[in-house]
Structure formats: structure tokens, C-alpha cells
Amino acid sequence: MAEALLKRLDSAHFDVTSAGIDCGNMHPLAIEVMKEIGVDLEGRVPKTMHDVLNLGFDFVITLCDRAKVACPEFPKAELVHWRFDDPLAAMEDIKRKRLFLSLRDQIAQRVRLFALVQVRFAPVENYVARRSAVSV
């Protein structure tokens, strides 16, 4: 979700990649709640952190405590940690959907603030080059 939201918000300034601790199928509720705001995640194949280890990033953003601990070191990247609750912790489907909606909205809010701060306060030479970020 974070990758798609940042790409949608500001692909002119950011080259975004997403990778996870475990590689699996995208959760249907993640696809559903993103589709509600016009972002189609259908058919996207998640990457693992090992798939992006050799890429250079300006930022590595972890989205949960487990990712922060498991995240390998990315040289020269600034580590940013955003702690979000796991929506899969809920047992009931209705509550789980609400948690996915909340997660989407929380990530969107953080992404907007992140982009605003990074673009606004970047040195002049960075305005020309895109910054790269990975969310884990």
C-alpha cells in the first residue's frame, strides 16, 4: 500500500519500491481498500527484502516492529520507522476490513507528510534527481 500511495502522490520526486519480510500473495482486503480510492493492486507480485538488497536507496521505511528488526542494512539509506498495527490481528472479517481501511488512511497520511518534508527541505541539487525509497 505504501509504495502505491507514494507513487500516486509524487512519482516525480520519488522512485518507490516495496518489499516485505515474507513473500506471499497480496491480501484481498489490501487490494479491496486500495481499489476504493482508485488504486489497483490486482496482480501485483510482492517482493522480499532480498529481492532489493542490491539496490541503492535514500530511505528505507519500515511499517511494523517486526520489519524494523528483520530489515537488513541498506548502506547510505536513512532508516525511517513507522509503526502500524497488523490488521490481520483481528478475528472478525468486519473488524479486519475496518483495520485495513484505517491502515490505508494512516499510511496515506504519513506518506503525504514524508513527501512534503523531503521535497520541501531537500537541497537544491536534489530537486532534479528523484529520491528512492523502499517500504518494508
Domain residue ranges in the chain: 2-135
- With a CB cutoff of 8 Å and minimum separation 6, the contacts of 45 are none
Question: What is the value of pTM for the model shown?
Answer: 0.87
CB-based burial label for 67 (10 Å; 0-12, 13-18, 19+): buried
Second CATH level (architecture) for the domain 2-135: 3-Layer(aba) Sandwich (3.40)
* DSSP designation for 44: P
Predicted pLDDT at 126 = 54
Predicted pLDDT at 30 = 95
* pLDDT tens, position by position, 9-41: 998 889 999 998 877 788 999 999 999 999 999
Average pLDDT over residues 34-62: 91
Using an 8 Å Cβ cutoff, are 83 and 65 in contact? Answer: yes
User: Which span out of 75-79, 82-86, 116-120, 128-132 was modeled with the highest average pLDDT?
Assistant: 82-86
Evaluate if residue 125 carries a pLDDT over 70.
Answer: no
